[in-house]
Amino acid sequence: MNQAVNMTAQRIGQPGTGKKVMVSAQLVSTYNKLIDLSKKGDYWATYIVKEIGQLTSGVSRGKSVYVHEDFSIAGYKLYRMMLPGCVANIVETPSREYQIEALDIDFSFFEKQVDFKKPGLLFAKPKRTGGWNVSLIMDKEVRGTDGKAGRTGYVKPQSKNKEDWIIVGVADLNPSPHDAAREVAAHISASHFKSEISKLGFNLMYTPGEGSVGGWRLAEANNAQKSERIHESAQVLADVMVKAQKQRKPVAWVTQYGGSGVFTQALQIVRDRGVRLDSHTAFLSGATTNTDRAFVLCRDLGMHVSPDDSFAKNQVLSVRQALGGMALGWAPVKTMVRRLRSQKGYGLKQVTSDALGLFTNGKDVQGIGTAVTTMVAAFGAGPLYGVCGAIAASAPVISAVATNIPAFDRYPNLQAAIQNTDRKLW
């Protein structure tokens, strides 16, 4: 049976080099369409063809592009390969050859990126009237088959000064790129990267979708590298990272809320490719996935985090952030210990600063018990001055409640949330 298939199938790569990879007969026309687009300069098609071609080097189970082995029986193994706009089912035979038996390709992937229906790297520009204009970043030098589709995924400097960090915000899932830009901008402004984004704009890694990454989803929060629902976005982001590194661009990544999950998985993919990111740095703001896992990957990739800067900051009263991003406090503690042991210049002063400044509203924790007691006593007594005092003392309680309102929780602090949000509270 295999011989009959091979007589009508098409081989990928040059005979005699690497492992034998065959495209099943019924998929040859689809694969050749992809090849034709690649030859005409379509960047997305070229990327897919290149990744599929990597099969000639074999399937590496540790490589993130191969999500998992679906089954293994009688010496045959089935893998799923997931790429942006493409899912391939691959059978490994007992003779260690590969056959592509299913190929689901979205040939409108680029158009969907332009329409914000697929993950992509955008540039957010401030409007004079408030809010943000967003558009897919294009490389003008290379055009696709229709004369409009250029290469995507190249970071854009927001400043003419080459010494400035190129700011890239990594957003959580969001159905609106404009809302994503607003939320991410608040996190960038609250970070230690000094950039006039309100005037210059910033790069935005956008992932369309509802809900959030991590948080209450504890399995996803603790191991974002394995989350399939953000795999497409992480692949796009990893490609952006590699391109920026090849050009030696100084990139500062600032993640917003569940954007930390997309960022973490992208780092894993980059590490699997054997690329270092020693011209990059990062800051995780309000993360809802394990921050220490992200730190380990950043360290392994050679990313620079200044000894005087925090790597991550969370709202301690946010349940989603406390569970997902902080792992109930263990994640930031482990990161501080790792930095103490291995990072030059990170000493007692820095770890003390991190411990005190790690939580954006940590003082509220101390005040909650006092506030509740004061409110009960004051309202029981009844005098107006007592009630007013109770309201003032109840600020920590108000902060704790507000921090867990979804529309507020996605911002770096309560003040930013009140200034920016106009959506329903629940």
Q: What is the pLDDT of residues 323-356, one digit of tens each?
A: 999 998 899 999 999 999 999 999 989 988 888 7
User: 390 or 103, which is more confident?
Assistant: 103
Dihedral angle sign, alpha carbons of residues 408, 409, 413, 414: positive
Residue 204 phi/psi, 5-degree rounding, is -135, 115
**Where do the structural domains in the chain lie, given as residue ranges?**
2-105, 111-357, 363-420
Nearest to 302 by CA among 286, 284, 282: 282
Q: What is the mean pLDDT of residues 298-314?
A: 94
Give per-residue pLDDT as tens, 118-148.
999 999 999 988 899 999 998 753 344 444 4
Structure tokens at 301: 């990739």
pLDDT of residue 262: 98
- CATH number for region 2-105: 3.30.2310.20
With 0-12 / 13-18 / 19 or more C-beta atoms within 10 angstroms meaning exposed / middle / buried, residue 275 is middle
Please enumerate in sequence order all residues whose Cβ is within 8 A of that of 380, keeping only pairs 6 or more positions apart, or say none: none
Residue with tokens 């993130």: 64
Q: Which of helix, strand or coil describes residue 113?
A: helix
What is the strand order of the sheet 251-256 is part of?
Answer: 132-136, 120-126, 202-208, 166-174, 251-256, 280-285, 312-313
CB atoms near residue 232 (< 10 Å): 20
DSSP of 338-362: HHHHH-TT--HHHHHHHHHHSBTTT
Nearest to 183 by CA among 173, 192, 193: 173
Q: What is the mean pLDDT of residues 173-185?
A: 96
> Rounded distance, CA 383 to CA 78, Å?
74
CB atoms near residue 312 (< 10 Å): 26
